[in-house]
């Protein structure tokens, strides 16, 4: 009798992004494949200072068990900051701290779905979330995106076709990988469709603070008068991803289940980690820090776009208004996977678009390019190499 | 149409331990209900020093994304330390760092079971693990424990009765809450039964390093020539629980699924957290630290036993050889839940034994008492109160 992994996991593959990231740990490779903040965007001195203070003044508090909901002062800080900055959260919402944003997708899927249920999402979408959904045995129903986000007619059709759908997953701002932002009109339409059809919306917003152009669009959560939206925010892109602190804003009806989902996942998020974030808010101006890093990203995004326009005019893309990624379409005569392989041979790494598709074996002409991690010099150099390799076709 | 949580979660209740812990956040309550290390067992100065060094020398490494398997130098350190100290791990095993020990139980259940599968476990057993199993829709089959651990005849019977069983869950050393240690003979018998019946063993060993009396017993994992044991170890009890760093030793056949399970749970464990543990090993003598904290626990365990013998001779228990807990049986004429309530009214908190049972509504005469967290003074005072309240029956 053999021991084997469960049906849910038998077909799971490691994330292609992760495998590419591993392959490109070689420092001589120009990494357009990552998703980390820029090195000069990390508030290193600040983290060093607040950590030292915490461990000097109150080490035992930082080292004992915490509660599953999260460190109370951080929950309160996030509540006030979100209300002020994004008009998110009512008295009927609970803030729960998680270990990174992916955990919000995982816990929501744990508590809201049974194996075989369907999750409706943008296609393409973030592979980490898609894999979290798949790992619970859920089916995925993709909805194509326009330049202003999810196509609403297609969403309506998808809902009709999937009576076992449990929630709509969306990255409304600077979608990963699409780079698109869902218009206010479409946000309202999505909310109305969800409400009419008894669906929850899982609004994943790790990039919303990184707008470098245009006007902020109100979050779907800020429209949530019916308690049907779980909002996921994160400190990974504005503070640091390695610290693993994010948060969920959860309507009352699901809050207890969400806390239990957190408790059975990992009991609670690291207390020192949470105290670092809380004290960072206490001692520094987080909104000013966000303005500073937006300057870095605006410059890098413009540089990447200018270089693509100059060296690779045949590569098409919609210029995003923020976030970390460009979603770029190769000319029809270019085999996308072959191109990605040749790029790695030439020391440039991008993510093949298939990684973000529900059927990752369907034909795809897209690649995802990250502009936050590479240096300015490497952005120019990498795109020059992309242009050279493109000429081989 | 209403939105509701999944069938798996509809019947989940928050852990009773956690609710009691919350109720006893009142500092005037003597807490025999917790499970934290003693306050003077935390290496606060050491953590402060290594954190400062990391954030001084290499802040960006501590703040960027890590890989799902864990921080490579820590994985290597754990591999060598486990081999030397416990003869655990072969070339066919993979060390994977997790965010606390509970995550090992959660990921193992995610990857090895489908809803409706059975997990065989000691009864009583650790409520956090039981709830992790339940949250994946698994059924639990309890096996009673003797003073030398799981009853092997009952285990054999349970395996026969549960053809859909996927693994045996055991806490072999200083079981939580039973306090018992599985004898070597029974470890061998359990391993043989698992092998014969195509079952995995999930060996949960958070307390193994906290032996204060008697001789170490070889781990089940050290007997694992067939790759059928996943071993869970943790730094929660020897370094600090709030830091959330633990590890799994996973046989080759399940390692990739386990890494994917970690990836979809929370991408990776906090990098700073992992670097703190790794550097603690580098700069300090961890084995000597363990000897120091064992002295603290030996003293506290003896004090609690002596006080119970002196003030509450009608309360029966088997003196554990280590760990953090006493599993104490009340006299037959005492209603256990009523006694726990009266204790809280008198400012003493213990955990009702029902919390650790598979059917938490079945009659139970036991309570779990923790001796690591309360001060020596409070151990004496708390047990005096327990004796007074006992006289009311």
End-to-end CA distance of chain B: 52
Nearest CA in chain A to B275: A242
Give the mean model confidence (pLDDT) for residues B100-122: 97
CB distance from A63 to chain B under 8 Å? yes
How many angstroms away from the CA of B215 is the closest CA of chain A?
Answer: 29
**What are the DSSP calls for B21-53, one per residue?**
HHHTTSTTSEE-S--PPPGGGS-HHHHHHHHHH
Which pLDDT score is estimated for A18?
Answer: 58
Give the mean model confidence (pLDDT) for residues B236-259: 96
From chain A, the residues in CB contact with B267 under 8 A are 100, 102, 128, 244
| A1 has a pLDDT exceeding 90 | no
CB distance from B103 to chain A under 8 Å? yes
How far is the C-alpha of A202 from the C-alpha of A205, rounded, in Å? 10
Which pLDDT score is estimated for B18?
Answer: 58
How many angstroms away from the CA of B390 is the closest CA of chain A?
Answer: 31
Each residue's pLDDT tens digit, B48-98: 999 999 999 999 999 999 999 999 999 999 999 999 999 999 999 999 999
In chain B, residues 140-159 whose CB comes closer than 8 Å to chain A: none
Which pLDDT score is estimated for A23?
Answer: 62
- pTM assigned to the model: 0.96
Which pLDDT score is estimated for B21?
Answer: 57
Helices (H) and strands (E) in chain A, counts: 14, 14
Cis bond leading into A123, ω under 30°? no
From chain A, the residues in CB contact with B68 under 8 A are 18
| B157 has a pLDDT exceeding 70 | yes
From chain B, the residues in CB contact with A18 under 8 A are 67-68, 263
Cis bond leading into A171, ω under 30°? no
From chain B, the residues in CB contact with A250 under 8 A are none
Cβ <8 Å between A264 and B135: yes
Hey, of A21, A265, A274, which one would you mutate to test binding to chain B, going by the most B CBs within 10 A of its CB? A265
Each residue's pLDDT tens digit, A227-246: 999 999 999 999 999 999 99
Q: Which residue has the tokens 């470890």?
A: B187
CB A61 within 8 A of CB A275: yes
CB A284 within 8 A of CB A199: no
From chain A, the residues in CB contact with B261 under 8 A are 9, 135
Tokens of B116: 């409706």
From chain B, the residues in CB contact with A261 under 8 A are 9, 135
**What are the DSSP calls for B261-328, one per residue?**
HHHHHHSS--HHHHHHHHHHHHHS-HHHHHHHHHHHHHHHHHHHHHHHHHH-TTSEEPPPSBSSEEEE
Of residues B129 and B22, the one with the higher pLDDT is B129
Nearest CA in chain B to A129: B264
| A271 has a pLDDT exceeding 90 | yes
CB distance from A272 to chain B under 8 Å? yes
In sequence order, the 6+-apart residues with CB closer than 8 A to the CB of A33 are A17, A20, A21, A24, A349, A350, A351, A368, A370
In chain A, residues 187-206 whose CB comes closer than 8 Å to chain B: 197-200
How many angstroms away from the CA of B37 is the closest CA of chain A?
Answer: 8
Which pLDDT score is estimated for A34?
Answer: 86
Give the mean model confidence (pLDDT) for residues B230-242: 96
Mean pLDDT estimate for chain B: 94
Which pLDDT score is estimated for A94?
Answer: 98
Q: Looking at residue A320, what DSSP letter applies?
A: P
Give the mean model confidence (pLDDT) for residues A248-255: 97
Cβ <8 Å between B260 and A9: yes
Give B237's pLDDT tier (boundaries 50, 70, 90).
Answer: very high
Residue B35 sits at φ, ψ, to 5 deg, of -155, 20
Which pLDDT score is estimated for B2?
Answer: 75
How far is the C-alpha of A74 from the C-alpha of B319, rounded, in Å? 41
Give the mean model confidence (pLDDT) for residues B275-289: 97
| A14 has a pLDDT exceeding 70 | no
Nearest CA in chain A to B58: A44
Cβ <8 Å between A270 and B267: no
How far is the C-alpha of B300 from the C-alpha of B305, rounded, in Å? 9
């Amino acid at each position: 009798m053999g021991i084997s992994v469960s049906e849910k996991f038998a077909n799971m593959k490691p994330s292609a992004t992760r495998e590419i990231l591993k392959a490109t740990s070689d420092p001589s490779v120009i990494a357009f494949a990552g998703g980390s903040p820029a090195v000069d965007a990390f508030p290193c001195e600040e983290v060093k200072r607040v950590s030292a203070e915490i461990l000097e003044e109150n080490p035992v508090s930082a080292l004992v068990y915490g509660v599953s909901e999260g460190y109370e002062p951080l929950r309160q800080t996030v509540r006030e900051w979100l209300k002020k900055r994004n008009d998110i959260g009512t008295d009927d919402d609970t803030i729960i701290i998680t270990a990174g944003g992916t955990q919000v997708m995982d816990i929501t899927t744990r508590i809201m779905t049974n194996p075989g249920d369907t999750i409706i999402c943008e296609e393409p979408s973030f592979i980490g979330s898609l894999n979290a959904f798949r790992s619970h045995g859920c089916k995925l129903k993709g909805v194509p995106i326009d330049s202003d986000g999810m196509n609403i007619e297609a969403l309506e059709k998808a809902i009709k076709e999937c009576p076992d759908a449990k929630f709509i997953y969306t990255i409304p701002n600077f979608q990963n990988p699409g780079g698109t932002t869902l218009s206010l009109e479409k946000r309202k339409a999505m909310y109305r469709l969800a409400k009419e059809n008894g669906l929850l919306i899982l609004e994943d917003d790790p990039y919303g603070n990184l707008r470098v152009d245009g006007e902020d669009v109100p979050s779907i959560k800020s429209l949530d008068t019916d308690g049907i939206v779980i909002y996921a925010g994160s400190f990974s892109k504005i503070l640091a991803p390695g610290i693993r602190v994010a948060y969920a804003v959860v309507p009352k009806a699901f809050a207890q289940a969400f806390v239990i989902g957190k408790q059975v996942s990992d009991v609670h998020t690291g207390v020192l980690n949470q105290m670092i974030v809380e004290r960072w808010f206490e001692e520094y101006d987080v909104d000013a820090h966000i303005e500073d890093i937006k300057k870095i990203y605006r410059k890098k995004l413009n540089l990447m776009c200018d270089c693509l326009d100059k060296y690779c005019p045949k590569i098409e893309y919609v210029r995003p208004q923020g976030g970390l990624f460009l979603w770029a379409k190769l000319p029809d005569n270019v085999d996308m996977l072959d191109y990605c392989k040749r790029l790695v041979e030439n020391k440039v790494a991008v993510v093949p678009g298939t990684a973000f598709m529900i059927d990752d074996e369907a034909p795809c002409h897209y690649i995802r390019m990250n502009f936050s991690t590479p240096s300015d010099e490497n952005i120019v150099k990498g795109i020059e190499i992309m242009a050279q390799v493109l000429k081989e076709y």
